[in-house]
Structure 1
Amino acid sequence: MGALTIASANMTMPVRCVLPLTEPVVIAVADGLGGHAAGEIASEHAVHRMAEMSPRLLSPDDVDVLLKNIDEEIKDHANQHTEFSGMGTTVAGLLLNSDGNFWFNVGDSRTYRLEGTRLRQLSQDDSPPLPPSDDGKPVTTNFITQSLGGSGSTAMVPHVGRDHEPDPGTWLMCSDGLSDLVALEDMERIIAEAGSDEAAVHALWQAAMDASGRDNISILLARRI
């Protein structure tokens, strides 16, 4: 299956690693909701469960079932610990296996595929449509229509789909701490001008911080090689 290079940042120092792809692999970002402590627990639980189950994820249906299970697990934890009422997390990522590449998301964290110098969004935002701004800046909202866990009363329905483009592939995953503050064309320019993936994720992180970034900023740039 080749190898996977990953550069990521949610702090000032980017990290890069190279992983052999010998079994199904899940790569994802998660952005917690419901207060710092509660959100951190929810997001950590989500990514740990996905990592734990990744060898068994063979199809989009498997991803759908896992995300629904995680949703119930987070809600059960919140019900048992009232101080964590409303805890939840967004998630966006990829399942890479021998059958292909599959994207998934819940909430407003995003997955893009890099096609040349252009980013094409694969994920589907769980947020209400907003009118365009007059100044061309991104229009943002803190409201999302669903998450893993959270206080919503309706059933959570994950977005899962196949990335039909052939390998090798390159993907950007990020929380809304980046996509809400840095315009798409600026993200594309930053990646194109960076000398390495590590430099790219650090420059993206810095751009979000320079735009008064106060939200969690999680960025992951992955290449299947």
Structure 2
Amino acid sequence: MGVAGGEVTVTALTHRGAVRPANEDAVVMGALTVASANMTMPVRSVLPLSEPVVVAVADGLGGHAAGEIASEHAVHRMAEMSARLSSPDDVDILLKNIDEEIKDHATQHAEFSGMGTTVAGMLLLPDANYWFNVGDSRTYRIEGGQLRQLSEDDSPPLPPSDSGKPVTTNFITQSLGGSGSTAMTPHVGRDTEPDPSAWVMCSDGLSDLVSTEVMTRIINEAGSDEAAVHALWQAAMEGGGRDNISIMIARRV
């Protein structure tokens, strides 16, 4: 699939939104992480694919600073392991390890009980692309000028909206860490479409407030990925910005 190697351009922004006092989202781009940030302009990173690269967003859950700690731990561990992940099984094992590590930390610190984080992203190998997620953060493929969701929401099904606006819930059925008693099972799959490829990853601070149709229009009308990410963030803020907002566009060439 595709030509081995190449590079990926990642454009990212993470922001606390208009309501929350702090940003409990975090992002990872290969060995780079951004956590506890309040960015109003995107950053752009070009990463060679001579070795595996993970790009992902994480949305922390829990009171106090617990969500912030959980999401930051998740992205740091993914950054640490990024170049060593060579298969979907490696991603599955890493996410299960992060789940256990966050739960162990919460057990040792009562004030962090229930802390957890969602995650959604891509593992880009020299000859393959894999998507993964836990929770309701999302990964979309940009395909023929349209967005196709690859990730699988860990949230209960909801009736369709009469207004055309996104139908959302704050309830998720699993996360990394968290208070769930059932075993956490990551969603991991191969993106079988040929390169060159492009993906959008976001926390629900975007997808809950901006419909897929509007997201698609913004990306298609933007003159660059930096302009697209900034405009997506503005759209979420104009929609109320009631949650932290993280957005990434990754393009493999």
Q: Shorter-chain-normalised TM-score: which range? A: over 0.9
Q: Which position in structure 2 is the counterpart of 1:111?
A: 139
| 2:9 aligned with 1:5 | yes
Aligned equivalents of 2:196 and 2:85: distance in 1? Answer: 21
Q: Which position in structure 2 is the counterpart of 1:63?
A: 91
Displacement of 1:2 in angstroms is: 0.8
**CA deviation vs aligned residue, 1:4-35 (integer Å, no higher than 9, x gap):** 11111113111112111220110000000002
Aligned equivalents of 1:131 and 1:197: distance in 2? Answer: 33
More helix by proportion, 1 or 2?
1
The 1:36–1:188 alpha-carbon spacing in structure 2 relative to 1, beyond 3 Å, is farther
Question: Would you say the 8 A contact 2:136–2:172 is kept in 1?
Answer: yes
**1:200 corresponds to which letter in structure 2?**
A
* TM-score, length-scaled by structure 2: 0.88
Give runs of ≥4 in structure 1 deviating > 3 Å.
Answer: none
| 2:245 aligned with 1:217 | yes
Q: Please state whether the residue corresponding to 1:218 is helix, strand or coil.
A: strand
Aligned equivalents of 1:36 and 1:157: distance in 2? Answer: 26
**1:162 corresponds to which letter in structure 2?**
R
**CA deviation vs aligned residue, 1:31-75 (integer Å, no higher than 9, x gap):** 000025110110010011011111221111110011000000000
Q: Please state whether the residue corresponding to 2:10 is helix, strand or coil.
A: strand
**CA deviation vs aligned residue, 1:156-185 (integer Å, no higher than 9, x gap):** 000000000011100000000000100111
Match of 1:20 among 38, 48, 52: 48
Match of 2:61 among 33, 45, 52: 33
Q: Percent of aligned positions with the same letter in both sequences?
A: 81
Aligned equivalents of 2:76 and 2:192: distance in 1? Answer: 27
Displacement of 1:98 in angstroms is: 2.2
* Structure 1 unpaired stretches of 5+: none
**CA deviation vs aligned residue, 1:56-109 (integer Å, no higher than 9, x gap):** 211111100110000000000000011111000000000011230000000000
Aligned equivalents of 1:186 and 1:201: distance in 2? Answer: 13
Match of 1:168 among 196, 207, 210: 196
**1:171 corresponds to which letter in structure 2?**
W
Q: Which position in structure 2 is the counterpart of 1:199?
A: 227
